[in-house]
């Protein structure tokens, strides 16, 4: 990794929003990456911010856009605000990171990409689960070829929350619901592993009696004879596998979620000893001759800091963008296509956006 911190002054960062995403994920990560300085947070609750961080609190996003010393704007606000805020930040000459989902529509995403190119500024999406311990392990396993050709891949993000919470994510607003909340994680991981699908079939539903927006999804992506299944539900009390993978040479099953989110919720400092360690190993089964070999596969170390280290290096040293806006747009395209499929109760072709 390029060490851009020795010769270049830290990039000043303004974080928009101090709700769940801003408080739990972005602020702690930004504070721990050398070469980044979280100097401003936009929040209506200054006391809440000041109890934790020694930063300048601004009441409005426009106040951050107007500051000439700010190099990077991180948008961790409700999904419906992403496009307008990102557009204003880019227009003001700022580099921009948007929490997932990138935007609510493909049209909005494409417009932001064009604006970022015009302004020659970095634009990225916080797809942090590319740096999950189990996903990094899975990528390594795929690269090894031990599973052969993958014929079936199943990715679950299940919870047990029988009572809807009073928060914007569970309201009938643009970008609300489980598919736009958790779906971007699973979609991005699938696209990283398999590329663009040929078609998809989606079943999106509201299952809890008091829910107002989608709280269940089951989406099948078609890749020739191979199938990729993305599943999420708010009514799973028992444990289901996080990943189930079948290939022509073997199978792999992994239970349990990456540990970094829970560590951040506890207030652990990212990057401390043991950070990102996932002790719940997956099980690999492969056939050798007439016998099956079964063994546990130790996890790679998860590292959410890697995203912001990549953002720093992309801005200061011209390194690759860790999550390109084109990748982020493809995720939104799958989300939108899935809604059309579910509404029509039919499999629909996937048409990549011509960026």
Does 5 score more than 70 pLDDT?
A: no
Question: pLDDT category, 7, cuts 50, 70, 90?
Answer: low
Q: Residues 185, 127: contact at Cβ < 8 Å?
A: yes
- Could you state, in order of their start, the residue ranges of all structural domains in the chain? 11-127+306-320, 129-302+334-349
Secondary structure (DSSP) of 40-53: EEE-S-HHHHHTT-
What is the rounded CA–CA span in Å between residue 49 and residue 65? 19
Q: How many CB atoms lie within 10 A of CB 13?
A: 29
pLDDT at 152: 98
Q: Residues 89, 72: contact at Cβ < 8 Å?
A: no
Tell whether the torsion through CA atoms of 18, 20, 12 and 54 is positive or negative.
positive
| Percentage of the residues of the chain whose pLDDT score is greater than 90 | 92
Residues 6+ apart with CB under 8 A from 156: 231, 232, 240, 241, 242, 243
pLDDT at 172: 81
pLDDT at 61: 97
Residues 6+ apart with CB under 8 A from 245: 138, 147, 150, 152, 153, 154, 251, 252, 253
Could you tell me which of 272, 277, 244, 273 has the C-alpha nearest to residue 260? 277
Instruction: Return the CATH class of domain 11-127+306-320.
Output: alpha beta
| CATH number belonging to the domain at 129-302+334-349, selected among 3.40.50.300, 3.30.360.10, 3.30.300.30, 1.20.1250.20 | 3.30.360.10
- Dihedral through CA 2, CA 26, CA 303, CA 286, nearest 10? -130
- 197-217 pLDDT, tens per residue? 999 999 999 999 999 999 999
Residues 6+ apart with CB under 8 A from 226: 149, 150, 151, 152, 153, 194
Question: pLDDT category, 168, cuts 50, 70, 90?
Answer: confident
Tokens standing for residue 49: 């911010």
Tokens standing for residue 339: 């809604």
Does 92 score more than 50 pLDDT?
A: yes
pLDDT at 4: 44
Residues 6+ apart with CB under 8 A from 60: 42
pLDDT at 317: 97
| Rg (alpha carbons) of the chain, rounded to whole number | 20
- Average pLDDT on 233-252 reads 97
- Average pLDDT on 305-330 reads 98
Does 2 score more than 80 pLDDT?
A: no
Tokens standing for residue 163: 């009572």
More confident residue, 347 or 289: 347
């Amino acid at each position: 990794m390029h060490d851009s911190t020795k010769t270049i002054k830290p990039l000043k960062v303004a974080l928009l929003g101090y709700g769940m995403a801003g408080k739990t994920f972005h602020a702690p990560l930004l504070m721990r990456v050398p070469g980044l300085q979280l100097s401003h947070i936009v929040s209506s609750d200054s006391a809440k911010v000041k109890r934790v961080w020694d930063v300048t609190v601004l009441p409005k996003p426009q106040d951050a856009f107007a500051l000439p010393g700010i190099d990077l704007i991180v948008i961790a606000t409700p999904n419906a605000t992403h496009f307008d805020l990102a557009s204003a930040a880019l227009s003001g000459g700022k580099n921009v990171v948007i929490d997932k989902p990138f935007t609510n529509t493909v049209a909005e995403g494409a417009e932001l990409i064009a604006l970022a190119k015009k302004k020659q500024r970095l634009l990225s999406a916080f797809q942090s689960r590319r740096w999950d311990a189990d996903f990094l392990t899975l990528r390594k396993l795929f690269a090894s070829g031990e599973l052969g050709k993958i014929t079936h891949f199943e990715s679950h993000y299940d919870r047990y929350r029988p009572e809807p919470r009073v928060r914007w994510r569970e309201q009938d607003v643009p970008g609300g619901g489980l598919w736009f909340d958790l779906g971007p994680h699973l979609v991005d991981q699938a696209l990283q592993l398999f590329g663009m699908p040929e078609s998809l079939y989606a079943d999106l539903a509201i299952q809890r009696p008091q829910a107002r927006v989608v709280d269940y999804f089951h989406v099948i992506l078609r890749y020739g004879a191979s199938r990729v299944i993305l599943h999420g539900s708010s009514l799973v009390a028992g444990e289901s596998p996080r990943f189930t993978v079948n290939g022509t040479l073997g199978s792999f099953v992994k239970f349990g979620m990456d540990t970094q989110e829970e560590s951040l919720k506890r207030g652990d400092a990212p990057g401390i000893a043991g950070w990102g360690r996932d002790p719940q190993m997956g099980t690999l089964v492969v056939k050798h001759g007439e016998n099956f070999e079964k063994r546990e596969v130790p996890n790679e170390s998860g590292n959410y800091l890697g995203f912001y280290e990549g953002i720093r290096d992309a801005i200061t040293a011209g390194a690759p963008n860790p999550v390109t806006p084109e990748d982020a747009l493809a995720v939104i395209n799958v989300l939108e296509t899935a809604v059309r499929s579910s509404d029509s109760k039919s499999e629909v072709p996937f048409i990549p956006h011509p960026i």
